[in-house]
Amino acid sequence: MSGRLRLGIAGLGTVGVGVIKIIRREAQMLTARTGVEITISAVSARTRDKDRGVSLSGYDWEDDPVKLATREDVDVFVELMGGSDGPAKAATEAALKAGKDVVTANKAMLAVHGQALAELAEAQGRVIRYEAAVAGGIPVVKALTEGLAGNAITRVMGVMNGTCNYILTRMESAGLPYEEVFEEANQLGYLEADPELDVGGIDAGHKLSLLAAVAFGTRVAFDDMELEGIGRLTIEDIRAAADMGYRIKLLGVARMTGRGLEQRMSPCLVPMTSPLGQLEGGTNMVVLEGNAVERIVLRGPGAGEGPTASAVMGDVCDIARGLRIPVFGQKAETLVAAVPAKSVTPAAYYLRMTLQDKPGALAKVATVLGEAGVSIHRMRQYDHEGGGAPVLIVTHQTDRQSLDVALSAMDKTGVVETRPVAIRIEEV
């Protein structure tokens, strides 16, 4: 490379088109900032004759992304097709073997194959950059690998799927049930081709697994993550949580404990007044805690053409400037295989249940909780006529095993109409 950094871009969808627009619009600025001219040699997608709303003139076309990735006139392979395997992985491997650096937005591929790809990259003396893969436009990988490099990270936490946050905040503001807002999100084009990636927490789990690897110097361990989506959340829980001063978020939490690496992506309650509780719509937020910095909060758009292309271009500019950081912030061979924590850090829990309206029902529930060692912090019973009595309980901190003992025992009291809903309250 001399005075020019030549890209090969595979994938001309939302993100690929955004990248081309920035390169065409900001050519002079990019050269001024990096000292080199950033150009596109060739592009690839499935369909050649599609109007993509951007000119592709001056770029060669390749039907095969692997061919694109290995062209002589490509210095950096930009993978924007998606998918954990298939052409994305084949072309990324081919690019690295051919001595190219790689920039990708593909969290699924890195969550599944991150360690092997990092080892391959380092063996070839190449880098893989993936800022766009986690929290879209928020430069969180950069914050962890560079700005916070002097910290032992104690906790990484965040809302990293904009679609789920849109669904949850819209349910609350419009008072609509999950199914209706899910359909609305679908009509607006917010959902992935496989919606379970979003609402099942998988997409956000992929992202958290990458941040955990960087934060704790561990091999990516997506398979060890405790994963639960938002599909079982009801408008009743959203309203009841709000009445107790909380919001429900699909929250990712990773921390290294004496019991091993804890990684969870699941619905949690957070205080309504906290930055996470205030997060509306499709916006993402990542909270990073380190032993020196204490806490930083990063907030911004987690998806979309401009924000995601912005992150891709940040990576391209770093490569143009000669910045070469190992894929997960330290050499792949030094990443340790973390023992997954078998139990979760104690927390307070929110419980919602409907009790039979008869004398002693509440006392029985309180007794069962007490016998399991679960202490009640706050409680509320709502007006009811004729039907069961709706009851909310917020516990003091407890371990999950004790709570599960209490929940099983409640089934046998004969006074609880349906199994209580239990949601963790995360300290933020």
**Using rule CB under 6 A, residue 56 touches ligand NAP:** no
Q: Which of 147, 177, 195, 304 binds ligand NAP (CB under 6 A)?
A: 304
**Pick from 16, 5, 25, 24: which is nearest to 44 by CA?**
16
Q: Any contact of residue 163 with ligand HSE (CB under 6 A)? A: yes
Sign of CA dihedral 283, 320, 152, 295: negative
Instruction: Report, in this order, helix, strand and coil percent for the chain, each rounded to 5.
Output: 40, 25, 35
The C-alpha atoms of residue 144 and residue 34 are separated, in whole angstroms, by 22
Q: Rule CB under 6 A: which of 119-148 touch ligand HSE?
A: 136
Residues 6 or more apart whose CB falls under 8 angstroms from that of 3 comprise 36, 37
302 interacts with ligand HSE by CB under 6 A: yes
Judged by CB under 6 A, the residue of 23, 56, 96, 105 near ligand NAP is 105
Q: How far is the CB of 315 from ligand HSE (least distance, A)?
A: 16
Q: Which is nearer to ligand HSE, 188 or 337 (CB)?
A: 188
- CA distance linking residue 179 with residue 81, whole number of Å: 29
Q: Among residues 24, 25, 50, 331, which is the contact residue for ligand NAP, using CB under 6 A? A: 50
Q: Which is nearer to ligand NAP, 16 or 277 (CB)?
A: 16
CB of 308 to ligand HSE, least distance (A): 7
Contact 325, 146 (CB under 8 A): yes
**Token representation of residue 122:** 């380092």
355's contact among ligand NAP, ligand HSE, none, with CB below 5 to 8 A by partner kind, is none
Return the one option of ligand NAP, ligand HSE, none that residue 24 interacts with (CB less than 5 to 8 A, by type). Answer: none
**Residue 207 among the catalytic residues:** yes
Residue 85 or 180: which CB sits closer to ligand NAP? Answer: 85
Within 13 Å of residue 330, how many CA atoms lie on the same side as its CB?
17
Residue 415 is a binding residue for ligand HSE (CB under 6 A): no
Contact between 44 and ligand NAP (CB under 6 A)?
Answer: yes
Give 322's contacts (C-beta < 8 A, 6+ positions apart).
none
* Other beta carbons within 10 Å of 147: 14
On whether the CB atoms of residues 114 and 140 are closer than 8 A, the answer is: no
Considering beta carbons, is residue 161 or 398 the nearer one to ligand HSE? Answer: 161
Comparing CB distances to ligand HSE, the nearer of 71 and 207 is 207
89, 107, 207, 249: the active-site residue: 207
Residue 3, classed as helix, strand or coil, is coil
Q: DSSP of 352-387, one letter per residue? A: EEEE-SSTTHHHHHHHHHHHTTPPEEEEEE---SSS
Nearer to ligand NAP, 185 or 261 (CB): 185
Tell whether residue 192 is a contact of ligand HSE (CB under 6 A). yes
Do β-strands 246-257 and 153-159 pair in parallel, antiparallel, or remain unpaired? antiparallel
Residue 315 CB coordination number (10 Å): 27
- Nearest-angstrom CA–CA distance, 104 and 131: 8
Kindly indicate which of the ranges 26-34, 77-85, 253-261, 344-352 contains the residues binding ligand NAP, using the contact rule CB under 6 A. Answer: 77-85
The span of 156-164, 327-335, 368-376, 395-403 binding ligand HSE (CB under 6 A) equals 156-164
Q: Using CB distances below 5 to 8 A depending on partner kind, what does residue 316 bind out of ligand NAP, ligand HSE, none?
A: none
Choose the binding region for ligand NAP from 119-127, 130-138, 176-184, 228-236 (rule: CB under 6 A): 130-138
**101-104 and 128-129 strand pairing:** parallel
Cα distance between residue 406 and residue 371, in whole Å: 8
Touching ligand NAP, residues 235-294 (CB under 6 A): none
- Shortest spacing between CB 261 and ligand NAP, in angstroms: 24
Tell me how many residues contact ligand HSE (CB under 6 A).
9
| Alpha carbons within 13 A on the beta-carbon side of 134 | 30
Q: How many binding residues for ligand NAP (CB under 6 A)?
A: 25
Catalytic residue positions?
A: 207
Residue ranges in contact with ligand HSE by CB under 6 A: 136, 161-163, 192, 198, 203, 302-303
Question: Given the rule CB under 6 A, which residues bind ligand NAP?
Answer: 10-16, 44-47, 50, 65, 80-82, 87, 105-106, 132-133, 136, 303-304, 308
